[in-house]
Structure 1
Amino acid sequence: MLLIIRMLILGIMGILWLIVGCAVCLCRPGHPSNLYVLTQMLRLVQKVVGVKVTYRFDVKELRSRMPAIFVGNHQTNWDIVTVADVPQPGLVCIGKKSLIWVPVFGILFYLSGNILIDRTNRSRNGEEFLSLVRRVRKKNLSLWIFPEGHRSKGAGMLPFKTGAVHTAKLAGVPIIPFVTSSYYGQIKLNRWDNGEIIVEMLPPRDVSGLEKSEIRSFTKQLRQDMIVKIMELDKEVRRPEGFVLPDYKGESNGDGESSPDEV
């Protein structure tokens, strides 16, 4: 019964989100604050699904650091709900073009001013980089990037691509890492209490002085620092009984290719 009730409520909320979201985006298409408005609406979903999300960062301080490149760990499709307080006015997300076909989410993702890239066309990587850099500089934008490129789905943290670091360096802006405690499999609609999730910001990273030869090693270290923080959060977060944590200790840093990253 709980599952049915929640699905009905989420369905109604999805329709309202689409209607209100389309109205906002059509009134000001491509506005850099559209994503902020849409994600603030999604905060209500946290209460509906029975999960408490704790945010550990100061919004005023965060906004003072922008424009910047935001990088975070990518776990499930619930990420847009669990990190709903991370997007700030002036922040847009990088996503693959195929997202446009995702029901409800896809059309709003496009209309809200987020940037869609063609990941399959590797010959255009250089053009994609330059386009992102121009947008950051010209429009004073911040970009939200998941450097893993794909949802990890409980597999720990996937290797990072170096696109976020390259973009930050060329645009002359810092990187702001944020992490979300491990929660893959934690949110179940047929369970009343789905525990707690913690989202925390790490100190901004200045990449302006990096040499090209240092970008890959910097990316590996950034990933490792984020894993350490996730493991710290995982020790204190409250979860439903029986939750199994990913094994971050057994992971290799991996070598990410230098290409734009996306949702």
Structure 2
Amino acid sequence: MLKLIRIILVAICCVLICVLGTIFSLIRFRHPSNVGVMARWFGRLYPLFGLRVEHRFPDNVDQNVPAIYIGNHQNNYDMVTISYMVRPRTVSVGKKSLIWVPFFGILYWATGNIFLDRDNKNKAHNTMTELARRIQQDNISIWMFPEGTRSRGRGLLPFKTGAFHAAISAGVPIIPVVCSTTHKKIDLNRWNNGKVICEIMQPIDTQSYSKENVRELASHCYDLMKKRIAELDAELAQVGK
């Protein structure tokens, strides 16, 4: 019964956010801060899932320096956990098919996000070039999930290199964002589903990297994020004892 109530409440809230958010975003059509506003609206829904979410930000988080943020992509619960971490003047890159998701697709477009055609390698490459241009020209940051898909309990998946090519081309840092593991830890029939920690890590300078050693940069970021996720999981396990 609790699960059904939660599903209904979440569905109502999501539709309301999408409708009101679309109106808001059309008024400020594709403003670069629209995405962050909408992400935080969704990120406030976590109590409906029986979660407590701690958001950890570094002291320099509001310096508003253009960067490419990379996050771990676990499952649909990312909508109410890691999404809250999206900063002002940050837009995301998502697959082209998102436009067809009822209510959400039009919101995703109106807020100013960037669509990626993953089935066309040439278009995908051009999108990365376009990202670098927009970062420099519009003074914005980009949010990406370098795994390319939800991990669904498989741990941190290998990173694709698109985000790292774009960061090197634009000459901006990579900023990892991590969320503790949520796979199989949320039961919608359970009142209390515990705590989740989301954290923005320190920027990683890309100046010493080039397209020739871009995979080295991706591997470095992967190792840092994997280690930090394990540390967050261990911290939560210790608290739960």
Q: Do structure 1's residue 214 and structure 2's residue 241 form an aligned pair?
A: no
CA separation in 2, counterparts of 1:79 and 1:238?
20
**SS of equivalent to 1:53:** strand
2:231 match: 232
> How many pairs are equivalent?
239
CA separation in 2, counterparts of 1:114 and 1:45?
21
Question: In structure 2, do the counterparts of structure 1 residues 125 and 17 end up closer, same or farther at CA, with 3 Å as the change threshold?
Answer: closer
CA separation in 2, counterparts of 1:206 and 1:163?
16
Q: Do structure 1's residue 52 and structure 2's residue 52 form an aligned pair?
A: yes
CA separation in 2, counterparts of 1:145 and 1:15?
24
* Contact 1:148 1:158 (C-alpha < 8 Å) held by counterparts: yes
CA separation in 1, counterparts of 2:208 and 2:64?
18
2:193 match: 194
2:100 match: 101
2:32 match: 32
CA separation in 1, counterparts of 2:34 and 2:192?
31
Give the Å deviation of 1:125: 3.6
2:110 match: 111
User: What is the CA RMSD across the aligned residues, in angstroms?
Assistant: 1.7
**SS of equivalent to 2:85:** coil
Q: Percent identity?
A: 42
CA separation in 1, counterparts of 2:40 and 2:64?
20
- Letter of the structure 2 residue corresponding to residue 78 of structure 1: Y
2:175 match: 176
TM-score (norm 1): 0.86
**SS of equivalent to 2:45:** helix
Question: In structure 2, do the counterparts of structure 1 residues 10 and 122 end up closer, same or farther at CA, with 3 Å as the change threshold?
Answer: same
For structure 2, the 5+ residue unaligned runs are none
**SS of equivalent to 2:92:** strand
Give the Å deviation of 1:238: 5.3
1:205 match: 204
- Letter of the structure 2 residue corresponding to residue 153 of structure 1: R
* Contact 1:94 1:145 (C-alpha < 8 Å) held by counterparts: yes
Give the Å deviation of 1:173: 0.8
Q: Which runs of 4+ in 1 moved over 6 A?
A: none
1:256 match: none
CA separation in 2, counterparts of 1:201 and 1:119?
27
**SS of equivalent to 2:176:** strand
State the Cα deviation string for residues 130-153 of structure 1 (Å, max 9, x = none).
211111111111000100000000
| Mapping for residues 38-187 of structure 1, pairs under 5 Å | 38-58=38-58, 61-64=60-63, 66-187=65-186
* Contact 2:116 2:124 (C-alpha < 8 Å) held by counterparts: no
For structure 1, the 5+ residue unaligned runs are 242-263
Structure (1 or 2) with the greater helix fraction: 2
CA separation in 2, counterparts of 1:136 and 1:98?
24
CA separation in 2, counterparts of 1:175 and 1:191?
37
CA separation in 2, counterparts of 1:6 and 1:159?
33
TM-score (norm 2): 0.94
Give the Å deviation of 1:166: 0.9
CA separation in 2, counterparts of 1:43 and 1:170?
31
Give the Å deviation of 1:65: 5.0
CA separation in 2, counterparts of 1:152 and 1:197?
17
